[in-house]
Amino acid sequence: MNKTQKRTEEIRKFILENVEEHPSDITSVVSSEFGISRQASHKHIQKLVSDNLILAHGNTRNRTYEVKPLVDFSVELPLPGLEEDKVWREHIRPLMNGLPLNVLHICQYGFTEIVNNAIDHSEGKILIVSVKRTYKNVVLSIIDNGVGIFNKIQKELSLDNPLHAILELSKGKLTTDPDHHTGEGIFFTSRMFDKFSIFSGRLFFSYQREIDWLLEDKQELFSGTGVILEISSFSKRTSQQVFDRFTTTGDYGFSKTHVPVFLATYGDENLISRSQAKRLLTRFEKFKEIILDFTNVTSIGQAFADEIFRVFQTQNPDVHLVPINMSEQIQKMIAHVTGGK
């Protein structure tokens, strides 16, 4: 491949990877990125349109572009008697040809884990699975018409409300059926994909780009459970890398977790009490290392900090707490209750 061919490939790859974020101004974005004229940029875009990789909408003046779906598939299946490996093998795997093996393995792991959860826990009758593939990414969705994952966890574990269920789910090692499940599937799935979203009832929880998001609607969005998994077709991530990330040195098990502290809050309350801290600390003793992520938390109270960083730590010296993304106030409060340790 000569320099001209290499540059052409580079430009067209850039277009395919960025057209979703710039559907109406991709021409100028490409011109700016590569220092070429708008006419030359437009020529590359039109070649991708003629190659059936990009779709054009509207007239010349108001034209927008999008990556053409390579796969747009959906099927409704009866949940009773369903087997997740057969669903993958018969309906999904044939649509995944051409993906790198690491991406294929992640898709298989995440899809089968979520489908198995629906089979064993949802109490639903119907499952809808969908696949959307473009040159850029793969999106898998699994939706059931069951009782709803957050309501199910709240009821089975006698939690305060569905928000508490999300907090517990985010820690990992959570299951309502410990004889048959380890509670690791959803946690690892959420870390393998670029974007992981789960919605049920009034709640929408998402993990993407190392950040947790939580939205609560005033009305019920959906009574069952929906999960959306998205990963780049070019991702270099492997499932083993994710497993290793949550394993402490010398330990082959799931011994390390990452907990978003803001999930311990309800509404606009502040994190100030020991009861809030105890809610956050539930099941911490199951891990050897816990990363406490204070993103979206600006301050904490003395009692909250003391319960976690002095009382719990004294009672559980083998559990290593690692606070990150702390405001200056949080750093000072932790230093205060630990005597500067």
The residue out of 16, 48, 67 marking a domain boundary is 67
Partners of 228 in beta bridges: 141, 197
Lowest-pLDDT range, 78-87, 126-135, 212-221, 305-314?
212-221
Residues 60 and 103 in one domain: no
pLDDT at 180 over 80: no
Q: Which residue has the tokens 């801290």?
A: 277
The residue out of 218, 240, 262 marking a domain boundary is 240
pLDDT of residue 68: 87
pLDDT of residue 178: 64
Residues 79 and 135 in one domain: yes
List all residues 6 or more positions away from 184 whose beta carbon is below 8 Å from its beta carbon: 172, 173, 254
267: pLDDT confidence band, cut at 50, 70 and 90?
Answer: confident
SS3 at position 338 = helix
Residues 134 and 225 in one domain: yes
Residues 326 and 202 in one domain: no
C-alpha dist (Å) from residue 174 to 83, 129, 164, 227: 22, 24, 12, 17
Q: If residue 55 lies in a helix (H) or strand (E), which one and from where to where?
A: strand 54-57
Name the more confident of 33 and 209.
33
Question: Residues 26, 19: contact at Cβ < 8 Å?
Answer: yes
Residues 210 and 63 in one domain: no
pLDDT of residue 181: 61
Which CATH number do you get for residue 104?
3.30.565.10
Instruction: Kindly report the pTM of this predicted structure.
Output: 0.85
Q: What Rg value do the Cα atoms of the chain yield, rounded?
A: 23
Q: What is the mean pLDDT of the chain?
A: 90
Residues 142 and 45 in one domain: no
Q: If residue 129 lies in a helix (H) or strand (E), which one and from where to where?
A: strand 126-133
The residue out of 240, 256, 289 marking a domain boundary is 240
Average pLDDT for 277-292:
93
Question: Residues 77, 126: contact at Cβ < 8 Å?
Answer: yes
Average pLDDT for 9-20:
89
One-letter identity of residue 163:
L
pLDDT of residue 179: 63
One-letter identity of residue 284:
F
Residues 227 and 290 in one domain: no
Q: How many domains does the chain have?
A: 3
Residues 39 and 59 in one domain: yes
247: pLDDT confidence band, cut at 50, 70 and 90?
Answer: confident
**CB neighbours (10 Å) of residue 195?**
17
pLDDT at 1 over 70: no
Task: List the structure tokens of 129.
Answer: 């699975």
Partners of 302 in beta bridges: none
The phi and psi torsions of 318 (rounded to 5 degrees) equal -85, -5
Residues across the chain: 341
Question: Residues 224, 124: contact at Cβ < 8 Å?
Answer: yes
User: What is the C-alpha to C-alpha distance for residues 94 and 134, in angstroms, rounded to an integer?
Assistant: 15
pLDDT at 176 over 70: no
pLDDT of residue 2: 81
Most confident of 144-148, 156-160, 169-173: 144-148
Name the more confident of 327 and 247.
327
User: What is the C-alpha to C-alpha distance for residues 237 and 188, in angstroms, rounded to an integer?
Assistant: 13
What is the share, in percent, of the chain residues with pLDDT greater than 90? 63
**CB neighbours (10 Å) of residue 197?**
18
The residue range of the domain holding 191 is: 71-240
Residues 145 and 204 in one domain: yes
What is the share, in percent, of the chain residues with pLDDT greater than 70? 96
pLDDT of residue 142: 98
Average pLDDT for 256-271:
89
Query: Which residue, 149, 171, 175, is CA-closest to 162?
Result: 149
Question: Residues 140, 109: contact at Cβ < 8 Å?
Answer: no
Average pLDDT for 185-196:
93
Which CATH number do you get for residue 26?
1.10.10.10
Question: Residues 166, 196: contact at Cβ < 8 Å?
Answer: no
Which pLDDT tens digit goes with each residue over 193-215? Answer: 999 999 999 899 999 877 888 88
User: What is the C-alpha to C-alpha distance for residues 259 and 229, in angstroms, rounded to an integer?
Assistant: 20
Lowest-pLDDT range, 8-22, 92-106, 323-337?
8-22
pLDDT at 161 over 90: no
Task: List the structure tokens of 176.
Answer: 């309502």
How far is C-alpha 264 from the chain's CA centre? 19
